[in-house]
Structure 1
Amino acid sequence: MFSRTSARCFTQVRSYATKKKLVRHNPDAVELSQAVQILKAFEVGNPSHQIEAHVQCKIEKSTPLIRGSIVLPKNIKQEATILVFATGKKADEARAAGAHFVGGEELIEQVQNGELKFDKCIATPQMFPKVTKIARILGPKGLMPTVKKGTVTDDITNTVTTSKGAFDFKGDKFGVLHTGIGKVNFEEKDIEANLKAILEELKVFGKTNNLKAFIQNVVISSTRGPGIVIAGGSSL
């Protein structure tokens, strides 16, 4: 039997769907807070289901692939496994900061042999020339340290700390970003904060590439719920 809370949630969903005709193919734009409430109502009994955002961005032929990495206000995934190529004092800093694998040339050999699994890779400037030997292994996986990404650095402590909680996102070739922004059991304010943080990062990407009106529209959905267009999504 449904609990009173469950019955009330489904009543809310049914009422909203009837009045607004909320279906995937003809959604009405609603405020972000209301959209989150609706998805939570659809997902009663599924606290671990994911809530996602689908952001349509305006791109041009010369626009690079949309991608970024931020620390979300509310983490939605397990802490990343960090590998650091460093020796001496910098190696000690990496271990103290919580890096999972730390070492010099011996670590390069282990990576070459496929002995280690990790999510992020950092190198000191001193170790970087040696790390280029395994660029063909790290590059295709998006793990090759680079100065541009801030993963070739002497600031090991801060970089490791940030990387452990970093959330990576990437758009497709059509300029659409599909990304998780939370789980059903998250507080509404946390889901909203995560989405807004990602949108802010996208706005920076747009400005950097001289793209006006970069964010076109925002839709949020859940594992079993509908896609809901967010009112004023481009200006959140």
Structure 2
Amino acid sequence: MARHGKRYRADLQKAPERDKPLPLADAVNHVKAFKNVKFDQSIEVAIWLGIDAKQADQAVRGSVSLPHGIGKTKRVVAFCSDDKVAACKEAGAVEAGGEELVKKIEDGWLDFDVAVASPDMMRVVARLGRALGPKGLMPSPKSGTVTPNVVEAVRDYGAGKVEFRNDAGGNVHAVVGKQSFETSQLEENAQAFIDHIMRIKPAAAKGHYVKQIALSGTMTPGVLVEVP
């Protein structure tokens, strides 16, 4: 069993009862009230879904832009035609291009957080499946990283657009801000993520879709949130 430090145990004493979910605003206030650490903790929402994670037609995956960002920027590369390279770099891409960028990554360069691509570039990007796939960096239409609007995608993901996909237990989670955010900002970001997950319920999913929602900081206990 994991052993927690004094700070975590002290926070646990202040946490609400595990069987009593709170309205989202109250849950945010509880998480923000936990003791500060030496860094600005990320705040994360985790949602337990009533899906069969083994079934491809029940997968929950995608991306969403939150109203107030997530408090960090991401390094984005763009696979695009030559005529869009300058625009992608102006939008914030650390690298942009086609064959030369593919070759650079094949040679071992992976100093980026997100890769986006225009559909016409996937024929060359496909060569990077073994390099990017295991790291979760392969552009995909399902996650929104393959798009005709590649310049806009660079801008969105550079600002912290959130990607998500369910795990084997049927959970999805995402960072929705920092502990230093205003309560209203965290609440609006978390609500936007929850609403998005509700909207994309797979048609094949049966029964109760959202089973449980929890909010937590990087080093805090989780606080249960009332399910809409």
Q: Is the structural similarity TM-score above 0.5?
A: yes
Residue matched to 2:103: 109
* C-alpha deviation, 1:155, in angstroms: 2.3
Q: Which residue is equivalent to 1:196? A: 191
- The C-alpha deviation readout for 1:120-177, integer Å capped at 9, x for no partner, is 2223344322222222212222222334444344322222222223112233211123
Which segment is superposed worse, 195-204 or 161-170? 161-170
The alignment partner of 1:69 has SS state of: strand
Superposition misfits of 4+ residues, deviation over 6 angstroms = none
Are the aligned partners of 1:97 and 1:161 in contact in 2 as well (CA < 8 Å)? yes
- 1:38-117 alignment runs, 5 A limit: 38-43=30-35, 48-60=40-52, 61-62=54-55, 64-117=58-111
Alignment RMSD? 2.8
Between the two structures, name the one with larger relative contact order (CA 8 Å, sep ≥ 6): 2
Output the CA distance in 2 between the equivalents of 1:170 and 1:125: 21
Please point out which of 211, 217, 224 is paired with 2:212.
Answer: 217
For 1:1-236, what aligned pairs fall within 5 Å after superposition?
22-23=16-17, 26-43=18-35, 48-60=40-52, 61-62=54-55, 64-165=58-159, 166-223=161-218, 225-231=220-226, 233=227, 235=228
Q: Distance in 1 between matches of 2:120 and 2:45?
A: 40
Separation in 2, partners of 1:156, 1:91:
10
> TM-score, length-normalised on structure 1?
0.77
CA distance in 1, matches of 2:102, 2:37: 46
Q: Alpha-carbon deviations, 1:82-135, whole Å to 9, x = none?
A: 112223312232223221101221211110011241122223344322222222
Distance in 1, Cα, partners of 2:219 & 2:130: 40
Q: What SS does the corresponding residue of 1:80 show, helix, strand or coil? A: coil
Change (3 A) 1:130 1:206: same
How far the C-alpha of 1:211 sits from its partner, in A, is 4.1
**Identical columns (%):** 30
Q: Which has the larger radius of gyration?
A: 1
- Matching residue's letter, 1:197: A
Unmatched 5+ stretches in structure 2: 1-10
Give the secondary-structure state (helix, strand or coil) at the position aligned to 1:216: strand
Change (3 A) 1:37 1:125: closer
How many residues get paired? 215
Contact 2:64–2:163, Cα closer than 8 Å, also in 1 = yes
Structure 1 pair 172–134 and aligned structure 2 pair: CA distance change class (3 A): closer
**Quick one: distance in 1 between partners of 2:28 and 2:147?**
40
How much has 1:78 moved relative to structure 2? 2.3
